[in-house]
Amino acid sequence: MALPFALTLGCDVGIVVEAIGGTSAGQAAAAGFTALALIGWYGIEYLRRLKTGGRERALMNLSRGEKLQKTPLTARLDQLLTEARVILPGAQAVLGFQLIIVVTSSFDALPPSSKLIHGISLGLVALAVILLMAPAAYHRIVFAGEDTQELYNVGSILVLGATLPLGLGLAGDLYVVIARIAQSPGPGIAAAVTAMLLFISLWYVYPFARRWLAGKKLRTFVR
């Protein structure tokens, strides 16, 4: 996650500096801030890792081979609500930008198909926000804040279900942006499909595959 953010940060700074000081200054700023972010987020840590942290990493690797203990219900519920709180601000920020763009003059210049897709994407992100906020309301209204297995089951379905409309909404707006930049729907469709495939792979396929492999290893260990 830090790598694409570092690249994006460098590009954004480069665009601003280019508008002020020209192309050369923008390119230098983009390269400099990207390198600075990579050094701060990767370089220093890996250099430090060569001299320290070996004992802690060894203990972590050892603990992974031990029999897994079932996490208490209270801890699982805390994790569930925390995950919802982590996703929610990002979804709310996207929703805010989606609402703002509708009242700008540039939105009027979009083709009708892009306006429709943006509207659908806005609705999907709004649905994701509703689903992400629902576990907290369910926790407070139904069970008066008490921890129950039913709350965990319902909350898990709501949080996991929220990622699908969120991914579709992001992919839809990505289509609008790329199609606008390229002045053609083809690149927009390709970008949206690629993004959706990445979302599905990282949010569903990979976690479920890791879960299946972990369960297989655990069953082998128990035997």
Do 52 and 77 fall within a single domain? no
Residues 6+ apart with CB under 8 A from 32: 10
Greater pLDDT, 66 or 111: 111
Domains contained in the chain, number: 2
Local confidence band at 192 (pLDDT 50, 70, 90 cut-offs): very high
Question: Domain range holding 27?
Answer: 2-64
Do 119 and 203 fall within a single domain? yes
Do 217 and 157 fall within a single domain? yes
Q: What pLDDT is recorded for position 101?
A: 83
Do 169 and 144 fall within a single domain? yes
- Domain final position from 64, 85, 109: 64
Do 197 and 101 fall within a single domain? yes
CB contact at 8 A, 132 and 159: yes
The alpha-carbon radius of gyration of the chain (Å, integer) is 22
Q: How buried is residue 55: exposed, middle or buried, by Cβ count under 10 Å (0-12/13-18/19+)?
A: exposed
Q: What pLDDT is recorded for position 60?
A: 62
Do 12 and 57 fall within a single domain? yes
% of the chain residues with pLDDT over 90: 19
How far, in Å, CA of 106 to CA of 84, rounded?
33
> What is the average per-residue pLDDT within 90-113?
84
Local confidence band at 195 (pLDDT 50, 70, 90 cut-offs): very high
Do 50 and 120 fall within a single domain? no
Q: What is the DSSP string of 59-74?
A: HHHHHHTSPPPPPPHH
Task: Examine the pLDDT at 220 and tell me if it is beyond 80.
Answer: no
Look at the block and give the residue holding tokens 């595959």. Answer: 209
Q: Encode pLDDT of 2-19 as tens digits.
A: 788 788 878 878 887 887
Greater pLDDT, 83 or 217: 83
- Domain final position from 64, 83, 114: 64
Do 82 and 109 fall within a single domain? yes
> What is the average per-residue pLDDT within 79-101?
83
How far, in Å, CA of 151 to CA of 73, rounded?
10
Q: Encode pLDDT of 100-111 as tens digits.
A: 888 888 888 888
Do 82 and 142 fall within a single domain? yes
Q: Encode pLDDT of 139-159 as tens digits.
A: 877 777 778 888 888 888 989
- Domain final position from 16, 37, 64: 64
Do 58 and 89 fall within a single domain? no
Q: Encode pLDDT of 41-61 as tens digits.
A: 788 777 777 776 666 666 666
Do 105 and 19 fall within a single domain? no
Task: Examine the pLDDT at 218 and tell me if it is beyond 80.
Answer: no
- Determine which of 68-82, 84-98, 190-204 has the lowest per-residue pLDDT on average: 68-82
Q: What pLDDT is recorded for position 216?
A: 64
Do 169 and 117 fall within a single domain? yes
% of the chain residues with pLDDT over 70: 86
